[in-house]
Each structure stands twice: as C-alpha cells, then as structure tokens.
Structure 1
Amino acid sequence: MRASLVQFDVDPFEPVAARRERAAGLVRSLGDSDLVVLPELWPVGAFAFESFTTEAEPLDGPTAEVMAAAARDAGVWLHAGSIVERAADGALFNTSLVFSPDGALVRTYRKIHRFGFDKGEAVLMSAGTDPVTVPHPKATLGLATCYDLRFPELFRALVDAGSRLFVVPAGWPERRREHWTLLARARAVENQSYVLACGTAGTHAGVEQAGHSIVVGPWGEVLAEAGPDEEVLTVDLDPARVDMVREEFPALKDRVLGR
C-alpha cells in the first residue's frame, strides 16, 4: 500500500481558489499512490480564526468539488484534509473529506476535540460526536484530526471499529513539535497500528507550523518523516504487518478497562 502525505504550505497571501488548484495539481501528480493525504484546514489556515466564518463552505462546496475531480483524475483514494464546514443550521465544523478513486465523497469526519481552551476553534466551531472509519480496500482507516491526537480514547474506539491505520491531518504548531512526534508514536505503539500524520508548512496567522509529517509503523518505528517545508512524503506500507505485530505481541487482548 503506497501512501503519500502532502505537507502543504498554506501561504496567507495566496488566494484560496489558487490554493485549491495547486493542491489539486499535487494530488493529480500522485496517481501511483493508494492513498493521498492533505493536512488540516489547508484552504484557510488552522489558526486563521478570523477567516473561518467567511471561508466556511458546505460539504458540496468549492473545495469538495475541486478535490473530487482531483481524486477522480488521479484514480486515488484521497483524504482531502479538512475544511471549515457550514452546516445547514449555520453551525461550523472542522470536517475532513474522504473521496474514493471515482470522485465520490465516501466519508466525512467532524473533529471531536476542538483546540483553543475556550478561544479560537473551541468557541467558533461545534464538536463532532462520532468516530469514523473508512473501508479502504487495502486497510480500514481510522480518522482523527490534529488535537484529537492527544486523546487516546478516540483511537481505542477506532481500533474497536476495525481500524488498522490512523490518518491524522493537522495544523500543528512548531513550538509543540516534540509532542507531535511523541504522540504519533504513542498512538501507533499502544494500538499496534500505522499512523499517518500529515501537517502543514509555513505560518498561519502568525503561528509557525511544525511540518515534520510522519509515518509510524505498528511497532512504533518511524518509517518516514518530512522536514519543515512543503514536501510530499511517500512510503510503502504492508497492512499485514499490523496483524503480525498484534499476533506476536498480543497486548490488545489484555485490555481490561474500556472493554
């Protein structure tokens, strides 16, 4: 299974429409991948709170339209990162979009844990409620977004739902980059699963982004890691290794709490 993480540079001076087309071009260049992943809130910037309301869009809005076409043209499964979704009742959500190779929107995930400590995303956006998995033909994917990485309960729920591989788009700040790497590896080790954590490059509303997208194996080994700048990180994975690790070291069978 070949996965490509697009560590996108969200340039605040680039028009959103141009940014969508640039992202679509990168997706189209990755037609040899089984899964392509974009980061969190790349159309607007994860910390550009003042733009959330003006850039919010419905699930069939311009970002979904452009990303559906890119997935179809490339013939890839595409986790298109997340958008600021405006629901029918006007509520805003941080919502991930997943497209199949025919361009169909097959899953959405509304971020459950909102960051901000009573500021920013935490007050501007509503919270999702349900864990979401994706039936990718090579491995069931479990979806999480950025701050979710700090909450292991969600990842346990995804494992119980059959996930073998976690996909985590993010807009993670540079000043907490060590947490990013540590938590990605922890979620992989404790759940004996792959973790594909795709961050952004650049600076969002004055907040320098960590970059350093990372792919972690089910034993906790770092399989690939990007640098700080825009980069496409491609890695070949063996989904069967998840079952091998779980059989060789069956820690998940000894769970007591949360059964």
Structure 2
Amino acid sequence: MTTPLSIGLVQTAALHHAADDPGAFATDVRRVVAAHPGVRLLAYPELHLCGHRPGEDPETVMHAAAEPLDGPRGTALAALARELGIWLVPGSVYEQGADGRIYNTAPVYAPTGERVAEYRKIFPWRPYETTASGGAFVVFDMAGHGRVGLTICYDAWFPEVTRHLAWQGADLVLNLVRTPTVDRAQEVVLAQANSIVNQVFMASLNAAAPDGVGRSVVVDPEGNVRAEAGPGPEEVLTDVLDLGEARRVRTRGTAGLTRVWDPFEAGRSPIALPLYAGRIDPESWRRGAEG
C-alpha cells in the first residue's frame, strides 16, 4: 500500500541574481506552503535560482552562480526543507563540480534537511548550453509514497533517459524545464508519450514568462493529462498522486491490456542493441521495474 502524495509544481519565472537576496527564495517557498499546506513535494523549474535576465550573458551568469552542492546555497536549501518539513526540489542549479566543471544539477532535500539526491543533466541543449554532461540516472525513494526519478528539460527528448528511470523503479518522473520556445507543444506530447511507453507518472514543470511559456503538466501512467497549467504568469499546479497506480498499470496493463514490461518469455534469446553496444537481456528486463 502507498500513501497518496500531494505535489506542488511552482510554474514561475527564474529568481534572477538570487545570491544578491538569499532570503527571497525562502520567502517564496514559505508563501507557497502557507497557501497549500498539504503539499509534501514542492518543485521549481530548471535553473530557478540561477537564471539570467534578457540581455545578460548566460556564460557570465553561469560562472558567477556556480557553487558546490554543499556550499552556502545548499546549506540554506537544506535548512529550508527541514524548517517546513517538506521534500524540496528547488529547480536545478549551477553546480561547481569537484572536477572543475560546471553542471546543471537538480538537488533534492528531504524533510529532515538531508540532501537525498542530486541529478546532473545528461543532455544539455547543444550548442546553446555549455554545462558539462552528467553521466548517471538518478532516482530517490519517498518512504510510504514511492520512487521518483529526475530529468531536466531536454532529457525528455531522449527516450532512453525515462526508460532507464522506469527500469530503476521510478513511479513518478519529475522533469524540470525552462522552455521559452514554441516547441513546448512537442514537450507536452513527449510527457504523455514517456508516460505511456514506460507506464509512469510524468510531471513536466516549465518556467513562466519571460523564462518559459508555462503549460506545465501532470500525466498519469496511461498518458492522460491530469492537470495542466496555462501559458500565463506564475501558477502553482497541485495534484495528489497515488504512485502505486504506476505499479498497478505495469501489472495489469494500460487500459487493462498492454503490459510493456512483459514482452519476453523465458528462454528467449537476448536482442543486440548496436546503438549502445549492448543488449536487452530477458533475464534482467523486469528486475529494475519491479523495484
């Protein structure tokens, strides 16, 4: 049995130069939590704390905003999650890696104030984004609720990413977005497609103007849009999800028919995957999805 999870997706513009006013984000989070006291998981869009204003050089902003995850910004975010007793995904941030490179990274803080996960964007939007590429698929467990996977914006265009998170047992995939362009229409379709083919909940959270065009969505494991924000200014999109529904759909099938994790019968030969110099092995196909 799983406990329903109340989520809040804050579709808003980036908090530009957050370092100049370190209390501004905390004030906003407290405001949202006060208005939606039942929310347990609160998330913000891609680079919410590290956005650049129109006309600013993104490279300059990136280098000025980059910090190690355990730096002052991370310490403040951990304290805020602990103060409010929520799971906090503050959007992605510019992370100064120990290797000297800068990553676009989404940290996750538990109600205890512990940083329980950090995901580095695997597919930066080349050539426009110059952050280093991450190299790991990341999920984290919310005790009593289920397992959540993380992606950032352009990752959603690569089906391998969501498929790996589903294989790792994700019931919900949270996609943090900063899309100001017309292809947001395709991203909404991709949220539905990724839900359908992987039988997971998808929450695609876009920024509001001028950093994004909104249209954040929550999609169920059968591809139905449960909630959708408009294209206008700030909006808090809320929903209550029973993440166990993803496991039910995988077991009984989409529309009670299609079970995409059950195509291989015992004894079938592995299938070569030239793209990955690897293979789909029937012996391991279901193992991660069963979580």
TM, length-normalised to structure 2: 0.80
Alignment match, 2:101: 91
Q: For the residues of structure 1 that align with 2:77 and 2:88, how far apart are their CA atoms?
A: 8
Instruction: Give deviations 1:87-123, integer Å, cap 9, x for gaps.
Output: 123210001100110111111111100112x3x31xx
Question: 217, 233, 240: which is aligned to 1:236?
Answer: 240
Q: How far is 1:230 from its partner?
A: 0.7
Q: How far is 1:18 from its partner?
A: 5.2
Q: How far is 1:67 from its partner?
A: 2.0
1:253 is paired with a residue of what secondary structure? Answer: coil
The percentage of aligned residue pairs carrying the same residue is 33
Return the letter of the residue paired with 1:186: A
Query: Is residue 67 from structure 1 mapped to residue 77 from structure 2 by the alignment?
Result: yes
Q: For the residues of structure 1 that align with 2:116 and 2:17, how far apart are their CA atoms?
A: 32
Larger radius of gyration: 2
Query: Is residue 252 from structure 1 mapped to residue 273 from structure 2 by the alignment?
Result: no
Cα 1:11/1:96, change in 2 over 3 Å: closer
Cα 1:254/1:190, change in 2 over 3 Å: same
Q: Any gaps of 5 or more consecutive residues in structure 1? A: none
Return the letter of the residue paired with 1:21: A
Instruction: Give deviations 1:146-173, integer Å, cap 9, x for gaps.
Output: 0000011111111111111101111112
Cα 1:24/1:246, change in 2 over 3 Å: same
Q: For the residues of structure 1 that align with 2:37 and 2:117, how far apart are their CA atoms?
A: 20
Return the letter of the residue paired with 1:241: E
Q: How far is 1:61 from its partner?
A: 2.6
Cα 1:50/1:175, change in 2 over 3 Å: farther
Question: 144, 156, 166: which is aligned to 1:149?
Answer: 156
Cα 1:81/1:214, change in 2 over 3 Å: same
Query: Is residue 114 from structure 1 mapped to residue 114 from structure 2 by the alignment?
Result: no
TM, length-normalised to structure 1: 0.89
Q: Any gaps of 5 or more consecutive residues in structure 2? A: 254-258, 265-270, 274-279, 282-291
Bigger fraction of residues in helix: 1
Q: For the residues of structure 2 that align with 1:39 and 1:13, how far apart are their CA atoms?
A: 15
Q: How far is 1:188 from its partner?
A: 0.5
Q: Which moved further from structure 2: 12-21 or 232-241?
A: 12-21
Q: What is the alpha-carbon root mean square deviation over aligned residues?
A: 2.1
Q: For the residues of structure 2 that align with 1:217 and 1:169, how far apart are their CA atoms?
A: 17
Q: How far is 1:239 from its partner?
A: 1.5
Work out whether residues 219 and 245 of structure 1, in 8 Å CA contact, stay in contact via their aligned partners in 2. yes
